[in-house]
Amino acid sequence: MDPKKLYKDQHKDHKKLEKKQEKNLKDQEKEVTKQKKEPRKNGVGVGHSSIQTNKSAMSYQQPHHPGAGGVDPQLAQWFTTVDQDRSGRISAAELQGALMSSTGQKFSESVCHLMIGMFDSGTGSIDINGFQHLCQYVNQGLNAFRSFDSDQSGYINSQELSSALQIMGYRLSLQFVNILTTRFGDRRGKGLPVNGFIMSCILIQKFTESFRQRDIQQQGVITIAYEDFLSLILISWTYASS
């Protein structure tokens, strides 16, 4: 396939996706303010399990952080519980424990660092506003994963991952998707767990953004300097090492 045409198609898909994401985020914020107290059910954060999201919302955009009045009171209470050192911020280690207790899923600390990096300001930790958006993001990931985990095994295969990525606007070859599944999947060959699924989504988004910054002409092809290429490789290696 012509890379220029492929890139233009993907660019159009992402434009449509961005509009849907903006609407999703507004709908979510309205719903959060209306939610009553209820126990957690297979979701992240008290009272957040009922949020329904589109699978394509896994592609993150920088949110508008609301003030203290925009934070769900139940989530604020949970934030205090997770913030074990009472610093007013959540670290990757604290997030890892919180995700394990709330979802029953084991997230590696490297994934937790990666997720925090999406919502912090370079501090390596998140405040309560960032925590709220991170919880929404994780719930979106869990919902997307479960919709493709047809046999409820806790794993998805390469074909299912490929379908999920296409819905998110990423048209990638099955050969590349197989690499993702092998790299972040279960070593016993069961498939890709939710931990690896979210890691894959974040990495693809981050490197797509890096590519677009260098593809000034929007042709789907870039010329990259040697040191710039090495920097991307080192960043990739840092993210992927778990």
In tens, the pLDDT along 208-221 reads: 888 888 888 888 88
In a domain, 48, yes or no: no
In sequence order, which residues have a C-beta less than 8 Å from that of residue 162 and are 6 or more positions away?
172, 174, 177
Task: With respect to residue 82, please indicate whether it lies within any of the assigned structural domains.
Answer: yes
pLDDT bin (cut points 50, 70, 90) of residue 5 is low
Indicate which CATH number applies to the domain containing 208: 1.10.238.10
- Are 97 and 112 within 8 A, CB to CB? no
Greater confidence (139 vs 26) lies with: 139
Q: Encode pLDDT of 58-88 as tens digits.
A: 443 444 444 445 778 888 999 999 999 999 9
Average pLDDT over residues 136-153: 89
When the pLDDT of each residue in the chain is averaged and rounded to a whole number, the result is 75
Amino acid at 151: D
Query: What are residue 226's phi and psi, to 5 degrees?
Result: -60, -50
Residue 39 has a pLDDT of 39
40-66 tens-digit pLDDT = 444 554 333 322 223 333 443 444 444
- How many domains in the chain? 1
Distance CA 107, CA 10 (A): 30
Note whether residue 135 is domain-resident. Answer: yes
**Within a domain: 69:** no
Residue 56 maps to a domain = no
Tally of CB atoms within 10 A around 20: 13
Which of the pair, 40 or 9, is modelled with greater confidence? 9
57 occurs within a structural domain: no
Structural domain harbouring 119: 3-29+74-240
Residue 35's pLDDT band (cuts 50, 70, 90): very low
Does residue 61 fall inside a structural domain? Answer: no
Sign of the alpha-carbon torsion through 202, 161, 237, 4: negative
Is residue 45 domain-resident? no
Give me the count of residues in the chain: 242
